[in-house]
Structure formats: C-alpha cells, structure tokens
Structure 1
Amino acid sequence: MGWDQCDVIIVSGDAYVDHPSFGAAMIARVLEAAGYKVGILDQPDWRDPADAMRLGAPRRCFAVTAGNIDSMVAHYTVNRKKRGEDAYSPSGKTGRRPNRASIVYSNMLQTHFKGVPVILGGIEASLRRMAHYDYWSDKVRRSILIDSKADLLIYGMAETAVVQVMDRLSAGETIRDIRDVPGTACRDESILTGGIELPSFEETEKDNKAFNTMTRIHYENRVYPYAKTLYQRHADQLIRINPPAKPLSTKEMDTLYALPFTREAHPKYKETIPAWEQIRDSVTAHRGCFGNCSFCAITFHQGPRIQSRSKNSVLDEVRSFVKKEWFKGTVSDIGGPTANMYGMHCAIGGCKEMNCLFPEICEHLVVADQKIYTALLQDASEIPGINHVYIASGVRHDLALADLKAMEKMVTRFTGGHLKIAPEHLVEDVTQVMNKPSGKVYFRFLEKFREF
C-alpha cells in the first residue's frame, strides 16, 4: 500500500468483518473516506506486548472499542455464568478478548505507546461515560474515562465526531485541546456557564437518591438539540459530557452505507464468524428508537430520533446480495432497533422529551408512516433474484395496532415463521415502570395477529 505509518489504528475486541453492522468496519471506512490511513488491530492478545505492537504507533491516535457488544455481556449470561460461545470471534471461540476490554486495551496501549492519544468508542464505553451501576460487581463504578485513563470518549454512533476529532488533531491541536466536540466525553478542569453538574461519583456510590437524580438529569439531556453539557466530579477529577451529536440526515445515512464495504470477513480467518453468518443477508434500514423503555440502552446510545436510509439506498444493498455466492434468495431482515419505526417522523419536528409511545402514542407521531416500511419490504421482494424478504428485527406491537393495514402486511407477507415482539411483562404496575404498554395491548395485538 506504500504506507510507512497509519494515521489511526482501531483496536477492536471483535474479529474484523468489513460489514456496516460491525462498528470497527464502519468507523474505518468513514475515516478512509475522509482521507485517513487506517489500521485494524483485531482481538490483540492483551497478555503479549508484541501483539499489541504489530502495526506500530499511529500518527494521530488509537481508537479503542470492546466490540459490537459489551465484553462482559459477550462473556457472561444474566446469571453470571460463562458463555460457551463468542459470536464475534472465529468459530465462536471464547477467550479472544478480555473482560472490560475497553479498560484493558486502553491501559495496554498507554503502557507501550506513551504519549499517543487513546480514544474510546463503542457501546461498552458509551454506556459507561459517567458513574454507573455495574451488574457484574453489584456496585456503582466510576466513569470509564477514569479507570481506562483514555484521553477522550466518543459516545453514541461515532461517525461525525470521530472525523471532527481526527481533523482537529491533523490541524495541529493536541488531544487536550479537544473538549467541545458533540458526542464526546473527557476529563476537564472547570464547569462552563450553562452546564449542569450531576451528583458526584462519591454521592451516587453511597446514596440511591443521588444515583436516581443523576440518571434523571442524564435522561433529560439525551435529545439533540435540547441537551446541555453535563459534568460529574470523581474525587479531584471532573468528567465533562458534551451534548449528543446531531442525528444523521437520510443523505448522510445513505453515504455511510454506500461506502465500499466488501461485506465479507477478513480473508485471514480460516473459520467462520458466527455473527457475520447471522447478519450477512440482512439490511440495517434505520437507527434510533423512540420507545424509551426504561431498561434499554438504545435511547442513550443510538438516540430516540429515527435516522432512516432512503428506499433506493436499501434496495441497492439488497441488489448487491444477488451477486454473492453465499446468497440463497432470502433477505432475513430489513429493519433496525424497532423494525416498524422506519421512516417515522413527528409532525411538529420532535420535542425535548421524545417519549412518543408512553403512556399513549403521541398525537404528533405520524403512525401512518408504517406504510412506508411495508412498501419498502414489498419493493425489495420484487427485485430479481429475491425469493423472500422477512422481518427479523423486533416490531413494536402498540405501533402496529395503530395501522392495521400495515400490520396485516407485516404479518401475512413478511413474517418468516415468527414475528418478534417484546411485551416484556403483562402486569400493569410493572409495565408502567418499564415505560411499556400494558398487557391489554399485548392481548389485543395477539387477537389481531391470529385474525390475520
């Protein structure tokens, strides 16, 4: 390739698959399109310094991600039992990434590459940007910025922020200069006017009410463009959390998914990657979810605004499947976090709360947009070489009931065996706490499903 040094090296806990659903691949292609030389250090052996150094030092920074899922979730069940498979590793073999991979990788790089900036990203780091309850140790832990000693954290979907950071580093700024990029968190010296100070780590560690106050303020400042800068003290250190990045437009989404992904695992792997096998014939049509279930991470990571690709962008990706040797004629999924939110919009352009479905569906939510989704599925099914198009992403059943014609099409034409819904619970006192529709809504959906 004629390179003697990478501009940025992405360190990932996943095997490398050049597919847009793999975060490391998406960020690599985005940076490549922005003119940067990108290296991928996939599943480095954190116990072997030589493995960490196989690509040398980058010119600008290391970008670290634990992978597509939290490393602790990758390793353990909800009962804290070790899993027997890691879907993002060759042949599903476990043990190729460490527990708390973001922290381990960051510490490893800082040991061997002193002075080179380390930037964290991915869902593991994103959800730990402030003090947080850690299920695995059953205690409140500090911001991951403290334990990892990383220079910067990019939270949420990082495409916009990572290019801004790289451009500023390339222009001569130091990583310490970069404190105000939307969608980032860092250590800072003082609280700016207009910022909000959260209860400190020490307070949240000892007091449940302080922890709940922190969570409420964070929730109230998760929506662009209403969010303010948040600050949280950890002893003598101050964590700054900038407002979220601006959601991507349809044109920007189309640009991302049109990048030259091979949609294949790296040829160095002799064994298959189970996660790639599962998603290779599926299409991500949109990001975000406005369900705001109180137990769900999506609203704090992808955000509540729906960011949809255009119909042509999705159909172009489906057409590309037909040329693949592995494709058997079935598109296993066209969807996103919630399938039937594709293309949906708010008649008044959104609000600070973005609590669109609870306790009732908001009058400003254009539920008829679900017809846009079923029309997309129909168009995809008519492409030559496509035999079946299915919905494998979850469907929000209260939304489906708001447009019975769209629901009928989803049920009768695009359900491949099972339609996934998530009532989660049926007892009303519980569903209210979960920000979910009641059991009555579920049974009404079930009745209509059987009728169709």
Structure 2
Amino acid sequence: MFLPVNMKDMKKRGWDQPDFVLVTGDAYVDHHSFGTAIISRLLERFGYKVAILAQPDFRSCEDFKRFGRPRLGFLINSGVVDSMVNNFSVFHHRRRVDEYSPGGVAGRRPDRAVIVYSNRAREAYKDVPVIIGGLEASLRRLGHYDYWEDKVRRSILMDSRADLLIYGMGEKAIINVAEALDSGIAPGDITWIPGTCYHTSDFVDDGETVVLPAFEEIAESKKAYGESFVMQYRENDYINGRRLAESYGGNSYVVQNPPQQPLDRQELDDVYELPFENEVHPMYKEDIPAFREVKFSIVSNRGCFGDCSFCALTYHQGRQVRSRSKESIVREATALTKKPDFKGYIHDVGGPTANFRHPACDRQLKYGVCKDKDCLYPKPCRNMNIDHKDYLEVLRAVRQLPGVKKVFIRSGIRYDYLMADKNRDFLWELCKYHVSGTLKVAPEHISPRVLSYMGKPRREVFTDFVEEYNKMNRKLGKKQYLIPYLISSHPGSTLDDAIDLALFLKDYGFIPDQVQDFYPTPGTLATAMYYTETDPRTGEHIYVAKKMEDKRMQRALIHYNKEENRKWVVKALEKAGRPDLIGVLLGGSRGAGHEHSKESYKGNRGGKDTGRQYKGRGAKADRGHRGW
C-alpha cells in the first residue's frame, strides 16, 4: 500500500494526523532509487506516520495544509536531482523536460525547491519543525558557489529558515532526529546528531572544531573560498572527520557535525528490502520517464573511492564503499521476475560505480579515508584491495535465476580498477554475459593536464583497456562496442587540449553523439576550480573556459563532424593558431589527414595504436546522484 497522498488516504488508515509530511519535488514513486521512498518507508518501519506531498503547488501555502498540522515536522527535499540542474542546462536554458515528473512535463518544481518549499511550510504552520535533506540541501550545507547567480551563496540552512539539515545518505540521521523530536526535544536543541547541520548563535569553540573562514570572507575572496572548500573536503569521513563551523556576521554560525557512519551490509539489506510498492503512484495518468530507467535495476552498492573532481558523490555519499549481500540482491531480482511486465532483462546491478563492492582498503575501516591521497589517482594505491570475486558471484547468481535472460551493467565500471586486477575473469564474464552491445566507460578526456585536474587515469590506461576489451570480444566472437563519456570545458582544459581530444577521436574513428559540457554544481572540487580559477589544493592558477563562446568551441571540436559545428571548429582552430588542421578535422577523409592527426598529438600519446576496432555510439550521460 502506498503511503497517504491526501486526507482520504489518511482516513483509510485511521489517522487523524501525520507525524511527518514529506515534501518532494519529484512525482511519488515508491521505489528505492528515490530517496523519498527510502526515508518514508524507513520512518514507517520505526512506527512513524508519514504522508507524501509530491510536487505541491508552490505558489501559495495552501497545498502544505493538505494533511493538516504534522505532529513532528515537515521533511523537505528537492527530489533526486538538484532543482537548478533539473531546471536549467549548463548554457542557462530552461529545460523542456523533467524526467521525474508525470509525462516528463517541466515546471512542476520551483527553482531552488528546498528554499521555496521550506518557506511555504513555515507560512502554513509557523511553529512546526522543518528538516531539509537530499542532494540539494546536502551539497549546499555551507557557503557555496552558485553557478546560476555566479556568486557565493549562504548555507541553504539560512535561506530556507529550516531548523535542521541532514546531509549525505540520511537513514541513520533521520531516525535519530525523529526520536529526538518525538521525545519532546526542541529542534534548536538537537545539536549532537552526526550527519546534520544546525544554526546557532551560541557557538563555543571547543578546540576540536575546525572553524572555517567566515561567510563574508569567502564571499569576497576566492582564495579564502578555495581554502574553506579544502578544509571541508578533508573532514568528510565519519572516522577522522571533525566538526565544522562557519560564521555569519560574527555571532551566528552554521555548524556541521561529523558525517554519519555508512550503513553496514545488514543495514543496507534491511533498507533496500523495505516494503516498497516498486511502482509509480496510481494517481498519475502518465508514466515517469526516470522510473523506466530504474524499474528493473538493482542497487548493489553505495559510495565511491574513485574521487573524480567533477563528481559530488564523495561529498554526498562518501568515499567508503558499502554493498548489499548477494542474498538480498537475489531476493530483489527474484521479485522482479514475478512482475507482469518483466521481459527477462535486469537492466543494471550496480551503483555509483558498478564494480566497487567493498572499501578500497582495510586501513579505511580503522583510520578512515586518507585526507591527502586518492585511492586510484594517479595510479591505484598499493594498499588497495583489488578483487572482483564478490561482484562476480552476485552477477552469476542473478543471471542464473529462472526467467532471467540477460543481466546488464549500465551504471558504469571503473576501467582503471579493472585493469589493475591481474585476474581477467571479470572482463571475460563482463564481455560474455553483461554487455548490451555497448559498454559505458568514462575516460572523460585524454589530455594529461586535464586528466590530472579531473583525477582520472592516464590516457594509456584507457587505450590499454580498449585493446583488452576488443581482444576479449574477438576471443568470444562478439561484436561489442564502447560508449566513452567525455566532458568538454572542464577546468584546466584549454583550446589546445580540446583540439588534442578531437584529433585523438579522429584517429580512433570515434565521434560521440553526446558530450557533457562541464556543469559547475556545489560540492565538487572542479566547481571550486571553476570559480577560483585555481587548484585550491595547491593555489596553482589554471585556465577555465567561462565565456559561452569558448565553451561552444571546445564542445564543437568534439563534435567536429556535425555540420552545425563547422563554423565553431574553424573559429577554434584559427584562434588556436592551427588553421592547418581545418582540413584534417573537416576534410572527411582519413588518408593524409589521418596521419597528420596522429602526428599532431603523438608527443602526448603513449602505448600502442590499439584503436582500429574502437567503435561506439553516443549516449546521454546520467550524472545525477541519488540520495535523500
């Protein structure tokens, strides 16, 4: 049974009043890929009455009175995706489609949804606690650069006037908060719960708290902003992370408690086996496009130790990977096979990175993640546990279930982690059983300079993987391809780097259909680079393409084969002083131009020429990160 969405549903359950009203910018889908479903079902498991207010009319507070006064509070999120990313393209164009709304119709959620919803809830019931969470709140928990206004904004806790902010994956924190409210503790006195932020005028420095540069300072000084971001980034682990405090006006502070401990395997199993309907609420007459992508997919893990600069996962989910048990995943897969519209295909068994199933190393479990060292960049750490056996056992168990024809891996793999595994059993089974014609991988770029700012492996790791992948497919007698995801205009990427990438693609005979222009979103190292035009870890100045013209040129170079990009490619090559390459990229032949392109970048190129059978089809990259 779905949770109540109106007063009639409440009466059917015999409720006079909900404990919580959970407000979300998404349509109501009771599936564990939607944070609203997880949080609401978890609270239900602990005995709380939760009503769902999905995509309310935000033009007044009337819709927020739909269930009457909640006993304990409003819980507010913007939805699975940040509302500004959901509503606007990187070029500031308003999107015409909302994948999380009925029929994909845009306009059902406001810009800065958490702030709008929180203020409407306050209008409806002034003294009811307001708790905010989800990706939008999590990544804006402290002072942050806002791409859409091109300035540093205050903590969303301040602008929303909420009582409490839950950041990261909020299962443990929300139960702690609910129990505190239920016991009669005032929201302003709930200051001890890990994974939360609160606002106070009574902050006392205990000597252990990391006091960040004041908001006024980071709003004026890019140097101070970069320093603050690095300080936050270093304290983002539940074992070695410390409390943070950011002042506003000298006598007002936003305090961030250390992160919550990640769920262990049994806890993850329990969460993903809550009594979800695993369907869209029947009140909708049209389908929810985003649900089609996940309906027959299974979440295997959380967290990511890949630590890419442009990704907010490490800031939201953390670098310590946790995974569900094989038994739990098999139970979910078995339930999927019994659905009337199941066609025999499991679309994904994965997560942020599909082939991560355990913490990067044993040291993380005792000391926490390293504050000044990445697990995979510039090369895999010697302490890393590189092992695909557990994941292989999961995949084997799922694909052997009666009724299952094929199990795909669509959430992407880290090919550098795969290449570091001397055992090739995973690659063999991947190619034989789990590729749907194409495999998604993310080299993102090929310039050594850009890759260093991205935190991605060297180009040679990618080309070696291409060779191994093609060799394995030839051995299996299969014609299977790769879908490489690429990012244009990433901080540090110059026009010369973009040309280098175009020549690389020309030589390898691959032109992607879709490329993602770098999108500065709160909570990422790359966004701090974009705003400050430095690497905040070192203070080194870096080039950033900020003008729309420069961004269009870099993007057009990757799509050099498209007629509509021709003028931009010519303009880019002339601006870079490389008119000699116009015929190479736009000539349409691979003869002399092919040799020219190889010669043009061979100084940066390593490894053998293994790209002759490297083919691909473009696909839209899903950069969204799920969580409450």
For residue 104 of structure 1, report the CA deviation from its aligned partner. Answer: 0.2
**C-alpha distance in structure 1 between counterparts of 2:343 and 2:152, whole Å:** 48
Which of residues 237, 250, 270 in structure 2 aligns to 1:223? 237
Equivalent residue number for residue 191 of structure 1: 204
- Aligned AA (1:334): V
**C-alpha distance in structure 2 between counterparts of 1:128 and 1:247, whole Å:** 20
- Aligned AA (1:162): I
Equivalent residue number for residue 357 of structure 1: 376
Instruction: Give CA-to-partner distance per residue, 1:221-266, whole Å, 9 cap, x none.
Output: 0011100000001224200000000111000000101110010111
Which of residues 222, 227, 231 in structure 2 aligns to 1:208? 222
CA contact (8 A) 1:125 1:144 kept: yes
**C-alpha distance in structure 2 between counterparts of 1:380 and 1:95, whole Å:** 39
Which of residues 350, 355, 358 in structure 2 aligns to 1:343? 358
Residue 308 of structure 2 is aligned to residue 293 of structure 1: yes
Range moving further from structure 2, 202-211 or 46-55: 46-55
Instruction: Give CA-to-partner distance per residue, 1:71-117, whole Å, 9 cap, x none.
Output: 11111111111112101100000010000000000011111110001
Residue 192 of structure 2 is aligned to residue 164 of structure 1: no
Residue 324 of structure 2 is aligned to residue 309 of structure 1: yes
For residue 352 of structure 1, report the CA deviation from its aligned partner. Answer: 3.5
CA contact (8 A) 1:343 1:373 kept: no
Q: Map 1:48-63; keep pairs closer than 5 Å.
A: 48-63=60-75
Range moving further from structure 2, 269-278 or 62-71: 269-278
For residue 344 of structure 1, report the CA deviation from its aligned partner. Answer: 4.8
**C-alpha distance in structure 2 between counterparts of 1:191 and 1:408, whole Å:** 58
Highest RCO, 1 vs 2 (Cα 8 Å, sep ≥ 6): 2
CA contact (8 A) 2:406 2:433 kept: no
- Aligned AA (1:438): R
For residue 182 of structure 1, report the CA deviation from its aligned partner. Answer: 0.2
Off by >6 Å, runs of 4+ in structure 1: none
Which of residues 258, 264, 273 in structure 2 aligns to 1:249? 264
Taking structure 1 as the reference length, what is the TM-score of the superposition? 0.98
Residue 444 of structure 2 is aligned to residue 398 of structure 1: no
**C-alpha distance in structure 2 between counterparts of 1:6 and 1:110, whole Å:** 17
Residue 140 of structure 2 is aligned to residue 128 of structure 1: yes
**Secondary structure in structure 2 of the residue aligned to 1:283:** strand
For residue 345 of structure 1, report the CA deviation from its aligned partner. Answer: 4.5
Which of residues 280, 286, 297 in structure 2 aligns to 1:265? 280
Which of residues 396, 400, 406 in structure 2 aligns to 1:378? 396
Equivalent residue number for residue 415 of structure 1: 435
Q: Which has the larger radius of gyration?
A: 2
**C-alpha distance in structure 2 between counterparts of 1:148 and 1:46, whole Å:** 14
**Secondary structure in structure 1 of the residue aligned to 2:442:** coil
**C-alpha distance in structure 2 between counterparts of 1:247 and 1:436, whole Å:** 25
CA root-mean-square deviation = 1.1
- How many residues get paired? 451
Q: Which runs of 5+ in 2 are unaligned?
A: 1-12, 473-628
Equivalent residue number for residue 19 of structure 1: 31
For residue 442 of structure 1, report the CA deviation from its aligned partner. Answer: 1.0
- Aligned AA (1:181): I
**Secondary structure in structure 1 of the residue aligned to 2:131:** strand
For residue 282 of structure 1, report the CA deviation from its aligned partner. Answer: 0.2
CA contact (8 A) 2:62 2:124 kept: no
CA contact (8 A) 1:401 1:407 kept: no
CA contact (8 A) 1:223 1:353 kept: no
**C-alpha distance in structure 1 between counterparts of 2:394 and 2:93, whole Å:** 41
**C-alpha distance in structure 2 between counterparts of 1:106 and 1:182, whole Å:** 22
For residue 59 of structure 1, report the CA deviation from its aligned partner. Answer: 0.1
Residue 125 of structure 2 is aligned to residue 113 of structure 1: yes
Instruction: Give CA-to-partner distance per residue, 1:32-62, whole Å, 9 cap, x none.
Output: 0011001100100011332221111100010
Range moving further from structure 2, 337-346 or 380-389: 337-346
**Secondary structure in structure 2 of the residue aligned to 1:348:** helix
CA contact (8 A) 2:320 2:359 kept: no
Instruction: Give CA-to-partner distance per residue, 1:128-167, whole Å, 9 cap, x none.
Output: 0001111111111110011111110000001000000000
CA contact (8 A) 1:80 1:136 kept: yes
CA contact (8 A) 2:166 2:174 kept: yes
**C-alpha distance in structure 2 between counterparts of 1:41 and 1:192, whole Å:** 39
Instruction: Give CA-to-partner distance per residue, 1:257-312, whole Å, 9 cap, x none.
Output: 11100101111111111111111000001100011111210001011111100000
Instruction: Give CA-to-partner distance per residue, 1:165-214, whole Å, 9 cap, x none.
Output: 00011111110110110000010221341101111111111111111111
**Secondary structure in structure 1 of the residue aligned to 2:435:** coil
Instruction: Give CA-to-partner distance per residue, 1:350-390, whole Å, 9 cap, x none.
Output: 4432721112111221112x121122111100000100000
**C-alpha distance in structure 2 between counterparts of 1:258 and 1:432, whole Å:** 40
Range moving further from structure 2, 243-252 or 52-61: 52-61
Percentage identity across aligned positions? 45
Q: Which runs of 5+ in 1 are unaligned?
A: none
**C-alpha distance in structure 1 between counterparts of 2:102 and 2:140, whole Å:** 27
For residue 437 of structure 1, report the CA deviation from its aligned partner. Answer: 0.7
CA contact (8 A) 1:358 1:436 kept: yes
**Secondary structure in structure 2 of the residue aligned to 1:63:** strand
**C-alpha distance in structure 1 between counterparts of 2:382 and 2:435, whole Å:** 29
- Aligned AA (2:163): D
CA change 1:352–1:306 in 2 (3 A) is: closer
CA contact (8 A) 1:335 1:342 kept: no
- Aligned AA (1:363): R
CA contact (8 A) 1:220 1:352 kept: no
Range moving further from structure 2, 403-412 or 249-258: 403-412
Residue 462 of structure 2 is aligned to residue 442 of structure 1: yes
Equivalent residue number for residue 347 of structure 2: 332
**Secondary structure in structure 1 of the residue aligned to 2:30:** coil
**C-alpha distance in structure 2 between counterparts of 1:224 and 1:190, whole Å:** 22
